[in-house]
Amino acid sequence: MKITLLTTVMHDTDNLIIRDVPVSSVVLELDDGRLAIIDTGMADNPDLAVQLDEYGYAAPDFSLLLNTHLHPDHIGGNRLFSNARILISRREWDYERRLSRRLQEGEDPVSILENAGRNADPFIRQLAWDLKQLARDYPPESLIGDQAQLEYYEDEPQLPKAISLLPVPGHSIDSQAVILQGKTRRATAAGDALYHRDLWRTDPVAGLHYNHRQFRRSAEIIADFPDIIIPGHDRAFDNLTRQYLEKDSWKI
């Protein structure tokens, strides 16, 4: 299996939650020749299509798309992959749509987040209106892809033998890490269950998580993974040596 890490960044935005934040998308060349991708970056960001082209890929050639969770910075490019099966959590899909509608329609996003179980610490209070803006500008229904493409993890959809899932809730209500089994090594695409190699230990964005305690437990599980880890917002690293990988494309 060949893995290629694409990192996209949105600079031209006033939204502090997504501005200048690198987002990981993971391209997989499976041993049978099929193409898959894990997460698709933020909406309205042309970098994903540009980087796919630079590596010789075309979105319509992908047959499988897995979303680790359904925040807009991880599903923003889903509609590019018009021929792919799109695998998501039904529980997460229902929750994120409800929360998005509440944020769009409500007048006080801080109270809405608190009522949804979020820890509205000073950081999240500052950014609550940015979350409301994201819900208004990028409702999940507009990003996820064609309904006919959707399949749900709860229904145990067929996966390639080299791919398995690990539930890691906390950042979102039903986050999934994707475990990749190669011939000689393994890798995990963690999404935001472990969004950065180092920052999760002090967790400066705790208020963005669905459940902070669950997040910490899941992050610790991922942090113990004894091979390559691909965070949701950081470069891939070898967890045996604690060193970042030198290349953005490698085989396992």
What are the extents of the domains in the chain?
A: 2-251
- Give 2-251's CATH code, choosing from 3.90.850.10, 3.60.15.10, 3.40.50.300, 3.40.630.10: 3.60.15.10
Instruction: Report pLDDT digits (tens) over 72-98.
Output: 999 999 999 999 999 999 999 999 999
**Residue 238, token pair as written in the block:** 């070898």
178 Cβ contact list (under 8 Å, min separation 6): 26, 38, 66, 68, 163, 164, 165, 166, 188, 189, 191
Question: Can you tell me which residue has the tokens 């979350």?
Answer: 131
User: What pLDDT band is residue 19 in, cutting at 50, 70 and 90?
Assistant: very high
* Of the listed ranges 19-33, 56-70, 136-150, 204-218, the one predicted with least confidence: 204-218
139 Cβ contact list (under 8 Å, min separation 6): 97, 100, 101, 104
Beta strands in 108-238 (DSSP E): 150-152, 163-167, 176-181, 186-191, 228-231, 237-238
Q: What is the pLDDT of residue 66?
A: 99
* CA–CA separation, 42 and 60 (whole Å): 18
User: What pLDDT band is residue 202 in, cutting at 50, 70 and 90?
Assistant: confident
pTM of the model: 0.96
Q: What is the pLDDT of residue 114?
A: 85
Q: What is the pLDDT of residue 121?
A: 75
Task: Write the burial class of residue 204 (CB in 10 Å: 0-12 exposed, 13-18 middle, 19+ buried).
Answer: exposed
* Of the listed ranges 30-44, 159-173, 192-206, 226-240, the one predicted with least confidence: 192-206
**Residue 207, token pair as written in the block:** 């208020």
3-state DSSP assignment of residue 87: strand
Q: What is the pLDDT of residue 207?
A: 80
3-state DSSP assignment of residue 252: coil
